[in-house]
């Protein structure tokens, strides 16, 4: 079985979600507080457009999967990653960096357009 590449995963996620691969920027006034470059953002738990989004430090410290930060949409993990410049991206909006994990969760909800987030295979 071929190895799952990032490109294949993004394509599959877009097809399943029925969403285009190009994301629409999502920036909200309350999301523009930038953390100091090395700090971990605080927790959040809210309902955004009818979807429950949550984020919290996980205690891990790797550079993959948010570097010790977990983001969830309706209880399903949204894989996020922090870029070198301190911005965040997710598997759903990979080419649209945002300032915070909360903004990444909101961007994912916007891109999903009501579709369910499918768990992303780790590996």
Q: Give the residue from 38, 39, 35 showing the smallest Cα distance to 103.
A: 35
The CATH number of residue 27's host domain is 3.30.1880.10
Q: Inform me whether the pLDDT recorded for 71 exceeds 60.
A: yes
Q: Is residue 118 part of a domain?
A: no
Q: Is residue 119 part of a domain?
A: no
User: What are the beta bridge partners of residue 76?
Assistant: 73
Q: Is residue 1 part of a domain?
A: no
Q: Is residue 79 part of a domain?
A: yes
pTM for the whole structure: 0.66
Query: Rounded to whole angstroms, how far apart are CA atoms 38 and 72?
Result: 22
Helix (H) / strand (E) element for 107: namely helix 101-112
Q: How confident is the model at residue 10 (pLDDT cuts 50, 70, 90)?
A: low
Domain of 103, in residue numbers: 6-112
Q: Is residue 29 part of a domain?
A: yes
Is residue 54 a contact partner of residue 93, using CB atoms and an 8 Å limit? no
Helix H, strand E, coil C: the string for 55-92 is: EEECCCCCCCCCCCEEEEECCEEECEEECCCCCEEECC
For the chain, how many helices (H) and strands (E)?
Answer: 2, 6
Q: How confident is the model at residue 40 (pLDDT cuts 50, 70, 90)?
A: confident
Q: Inform me whether the pLDDT recorded for 15 exceeds 80.
A: no
Of 28 and 81, the one with more pLDDT: 81
Q: Is residue 71 part of a domain?
A: yes
Residue 25: what pLDDT? 41
Counted domains in the chain: 1
Lowest average pLDDT, out of 28-32, 66-70, 72-76, 107-111, goes to 28-32
Compute how many other C-beta atoms are within 10 angstroms of the C-beta atom of residue 35.
14
* Percent of the chain at pLDDT exceeding 70: 61
Q: Is residue 63 part of a domain?
A: yes
Q: Is residue 76 part of a domain?
A: yes
């Amino acid at each position: 079985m071929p190895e799952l590449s990032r490109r294949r995963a993004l394509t599959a996620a877009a097809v399943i979600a029925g969403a285009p691969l190009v994301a629409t920027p999502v920036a909200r006034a309350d999301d523009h507080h930038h953390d100091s470059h090395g700090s971990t953002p605080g927790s959040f738990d809210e309902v955004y457009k009818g979807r429950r989004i949550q984020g919290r430090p996980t205690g891990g410290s790797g550079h993959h999967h948010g570097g010790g930060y977990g983001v969830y949409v309706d209880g399903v993990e949204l894989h996020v990653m922090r870029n070198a410049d301190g911005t965040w991206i997710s598997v759903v909006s990979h080419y649209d960096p945002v300032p915070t994990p909360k903004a990444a969760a909101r961007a994912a909800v916007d891109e999903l357009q009501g579709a369910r987030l499918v768990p992303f295979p780790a590996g």
